[in-house]
Amino acid sequence: MARLNDRETRVRALSGAVFVVVVMAAIGWGPWSNAVLWAVVALLGLREGWRAQPGSKVKVALAVMPAAAAMGAWGWMAEPYDPWPVLAFVWMIWANDTGAYLVGKPLGKHKLWPRISPGKSWEGFIGGMAAAALVAGAVFGWEWSAMGALIGALSTAGDLTESAWKRRLGLKDSGQLMPGHGGALDRFDGFLFAAPAYWAFMCIFAVA
């Protein structure tokens, strides 16, 4: 059993590393690779949602959430292309996930929503928000840390929404895109509410 767990951990770590490299390379390479990345994510999400419950417009609507990220990515395709706002958003989402895990794993005692996601705690939620706030402050200036905290909170809300959707359908993962990580919706569920909010910040306050 220990060997099996070690193997699963290695597979998860390797696929996660490949995922990070591919996403960052696609965003950083240029406007078209960036656009293609989010178009692929949106299509994969739609496919997973449709397979999970064919014909249900309500359920499949959740699968459209990667399109919000695609819309945001297209917003920075004016010349000259600047990948940093898109990268910063992705980093905030990842920082939220990492902070929630690092804080919640050893310190999490108060469950956030046990019926939907037993592993999440209020301590992890706060840790994730703090990590996302640090990223926002480091990239845009510390006066924008509150924006990062909000993005972290909205990312967790998206994660919980997708978890509720999967639980209702009796699914462990939305798909098998990445070994040990699930499908596109599992990897990008944090974009559901966070991407539109981030887009609004960029447009209204010209943070970048």
**Minimal CA–CA distance to 135: which of 126, 127, 144?**
144
Range name among 1-5, 12-16, 92-96, 168-172 with the lowest pLDDT average: 1-5
Top pLDDT among 158 and 208 is at 158
Left, alpha or beta for 179 (phi > 0: left; psi -120 to 50: alpha)? beta
Give the distance, in angstroms, between the CA of residue 188 and the centroid of all CA atoms in the same chain: 4
Check whether 61 has a pLDDT greater than 90.
no
pLDDT of the residue at 80: 80
Cα-Cα-Cα-Cα dihedral sign, residues 18, 137, 97, 50? negative
More confidently predicted of 118 and 137: 137
Task: Give the pLDDT confidence score for residue 1 in this predicted structure.
Answer: 45
Tell me what the mean pLDDT of segment 192-200 comes to.
Answer: 87
- pLDDT tier at 56 (50, 70, 90 boundaries)? low
**Average pLDDT over all residues of the chain:** 81
User: 130 CB contacts (<8 Å, ≥6 apart)?
Assistant: 99, 103, 149, 152
Average pLDDT over residues 155-173: 81
At residue 131 the predicted structure's pLDDT band, cuts being 50, 70 and 90, is very high
What are the tokens at 201? 């910040």
- Looking at the predicted structure, is the pLDDT value of residue 4 above 50? no
Distance of alpha carbon 51 from alpha carbon 159, whole angstroms: 19
pLDDT at position 2 over 50: no
Q: What is the DSSP letter of 54?
A: T
Note whether 171 and 151 are within 8 A (CB): no
